[in-house]
Structure 1
């Protein structure tokens, strides 16, 4: 009987020790934890600093989506008043969030960084129609901010970084690409800084900002033994 009581008290040892530890509980939803830089949240469609849309209606995001939740249809630009640079733009763009698994493959497939993901993931729907986001809801506003919907719980930090996955600057784990800006500026933000900490070099050496053309030329030069090609 004595051993049974001692065993029971031993089982509570960890619990009793935690009583004197500092509390880490947050008062959710008033307080929220900071999200990781590459957190996958609700999508946005970005625009260039001049206001033009980045989406060119190529449908590569829809083709890469494993859940088949994206529907895109392109159309020819009006030569007098183009919507995006080039010949075509995204005339129809829809995402069905009843299917979306937030895998981010659409972001990786996009050749113009048009679609990226925000840090906002807390949104609930009272009807199925609200779950299908159209282009009017996905394209950022004239200030470059996501268009907030009534059923979404946005915080300012949720919309501050909407392109972290695009800014992964070391493809294939190659630290030579660290600090390389290979993406275009965005409306309301400009050119976002590259990610850091992908190599063991000191920060001042590991994060210089080069053009993508310069770093590729340097790599090709080294591959040819320092000889011109």
Structure 2
């Protein structure tokens, strides 16, 4: 394999101290500032901004109508139409989670339960929203479609413990998902 030797170009004194790039950047910044003050900022109408630039006034204005179709937000657990848990505690989402934000403790379903045909259900299902990176891998790997990423980006809490969502909280924010659930399928 031949070795190609590349020589660096000789820079002038102005190029060596980046004077031209600094001046050019200053003029571009000033142009945007003047356009903003004149109310001619690019994208201001799309974001319904206050008129001074493209800054969205967050609590009053939200991104909800501007979110793309493929947006991935916070994960939540869902139930079926009859209020039954979809999760079978297979722990695939826990194993595939890159930041290890999911913790599942499986338990068995008692034999006297009408839904005893299913082997297990989650006793505890916790997701640490501080650690979650909203990658969507838990949703992709779930065989029962029990976990979904909802379009929610404003997750707040007053302390760290508020940011760990337990099973009840995850079902509360997840809601009901309509469709065939494999674990309740009689043919399975």
TM-score of the pair, normalised by structure 1: 0.53
In structure 2, which of residues 139, 143, 153 is the aligned counterpart of residue 111 of structure 1? 143
Partner of 2:58: 28
Partner of 1:86: 118
Partner of 2:157: 125
Partner of 2:34: 16
In structure 1, which of residues 53, 72, 94 is the aligned counterpart of residue 104 of structure 2? 72
Contact 2:110–2:116, Cα closer than 8 Å, also in 1: no
The alignment of Structure 1 onto Structure 2 pairs a total of residues equal to: 140
Larger Cα Rg: Structure 1 or Structure 2? Answer: 2
CA positional deviation for 1:13 = 4.1
Q: Which runs of 5 or more structure 1 residues have no equivalent in the other structure? A: 1-6, 141-145, 148-185, 192-229
What does the per-residue CA deviation read over 1:39-77, in whole Å, with 9 as the maximum and x for residues that have no partner?
Answer: 222221011112111100000000000111111122222
For residues 169 and 123 of structure 2, the distance between their equivalents in structure 1, rounded to whole angstroms, comes to 13
RMSD: 2.7
Contact 2:104–2:125, Cα closer than 8 Å, also in 1: yes
What does the per-residue CA deviation read over 1:13-35, in whole Å, with 9 as the maximum and x for residues that have no partner?
Answer: 45434524263423321111222
For residues 110 and 84 of structure 1, the distance between their equivalents in structure 2, rounded to whole angstroms, comes to 21
Higher RCO by CA contacts (8 Å cutoff, separation 6 or greater): 2
2:142 is equivalent to residue 100 of structure 1: no
Give the secondary-structure state (helix, strand or coil) at the position aligned to 1:91: strand
Q: Which runs of 5 or more structure 2 residues have no equivalent in the other structure? A: 1-22, 50-55, 180-188
Give the secondary-structure state (helix, strand or coil) at the position aligned to 1:136: helix
Q: Which runs of 4+ in 1 moved over 4 A?
A: 82-85
Describe the shift of the 1:123–1:49 C-alpha distance in structure 2 as closer, same or farther (beyond 3 A).
Answer: same
2:181 is equivalent to residue 190 of structure 1: no
Greater CA drift, 58-67 or 47-56: 47-56
TM-score of the pair, normalised by structure 2: 0.64
